[in-house]
Amino acid sequence: MKNKTNTTSTQVANLAGVSQSTVSRAYLPESPVTEKTRQKVLEAAKKLGYQPNAMARSLITRRSNMVGIVISNVTTNPFYPEVLDLLSRKFQENGQKVMLFVVHRDQSLDDILPQLLEYQVDGIIITAATLSSDMSYECERRGTPVTLFNRYIPKSNASWFCCDNKAGGSMVAQFLLDSRHKRPAYLAGSEDTTTSIDREKGFLEIMNKNGVDTLREVGNYNYNEAYAATVRLMERPDPADSIFCSNDIMAFGALDAIRSGMKLRVPEDVSIIGFDDIPMASWPSFNLTTVRQPVRDMVDASVEDLISRIKKPENPPNHKVIMGELIVRGSSRIPI
């Protein structure tokens, strides 16, 4: 058997009894050759140890069969590694390779994205990062479709698929009111993210409608900052009797702060509710009441949308919110 690094498509063509161009076409995702011919090519390639050159093939198809996934918070929030795993699997099932770009807290996505575009990716999916309208339109100008996962940019050309964050915040607010809480608090995530903004908006809408004043602190989606913010909330002359945290990691910080010498009980004295329902939320040590995001539905919709717009660039962007579910566990009082 020949070494695959020395084998050419011409040799494969000769063995299979086809033209060299037929060998190239046989490896296309939507191959124009017959199945019988394609099998002859693949069998010849296997005998010779031939592997097609993906970069060369992209010059023919004008597609790289590669999508870029841009993600941040991958090491600080277990929600996003789960999302990344599901996205990668789904793209691979659809014949797309994945290029991962990680945006750190001190980096701007607008600075990173041009580097990604240099690799001629067919499309980009962005999660846990904020894309400016200017960069969104730059991607459109280049013909590179963009889909946002659990983020949105009003009036942009990007598609987006989100949990209904506002409805999730409303569900939590109504649950706390039904549980007879009088001094609820909202622990915000990053101030510039639509996720935290919409969750707070839904929460306050119900509280204001019922004439209930709310306390507020910021935890920036960070365990340590949420821990410190919870201490401040509970050391007030009028401490909170319930805390709605904008994600589960902050809820864990809030739980640990209350359990560390405050002489308070969860949920008898204070209820803690999170958002995401990451796997750790169901662990007995946390037993966290939280809003479960419809992650699989969001992933399926995001991948399907991006692939459809790669194949048909004229397709308009899609926008969809998907309802989450309140999962009641032991960190909150039960409505009477």
Note the pLDDT of residue 3: 44
Encoded tokens for 257: 């702060």
Residue 98, exposed/middle/buried by CB under 10 A (0-12, 13-18, 19+)? middle
Q: Which tokens sit at 51?
A: 């592997």
Domains of the chain: 9-61 (1.10.260.40), 66-163+295-323 (3.40.50.2300), 165-293 (3.40.50.2300)
pLDDT at 179 over 90: yes
CB 27 within 8 A of CB 57: yes
Tens digit of each residue's pLDDT (9 = 90 or more) over 138-177:
776 777 888 989 888 777 778 999 999 999 999 999 999 9
| Bridge partners, 216 (sequence order) | 186
All residues at 6 or more sequence positions from 5 whose CB lies less than 8 Å from its CB, including other chains: none
Gap between the Cα atoms of 161 and 150, Å rounded: 6
Distance CA(165)–CA(293), nearest Å, equals 9
Q: How do strand 271-276 and strand 289-292 relate by DSSP bridges? A: parallel
What is the model's pTM?
A: 0.79
Given this model, what pLDDT does residue 61 score? 46
* Phi, psi of 247, deg, nearest 5: -155, 170
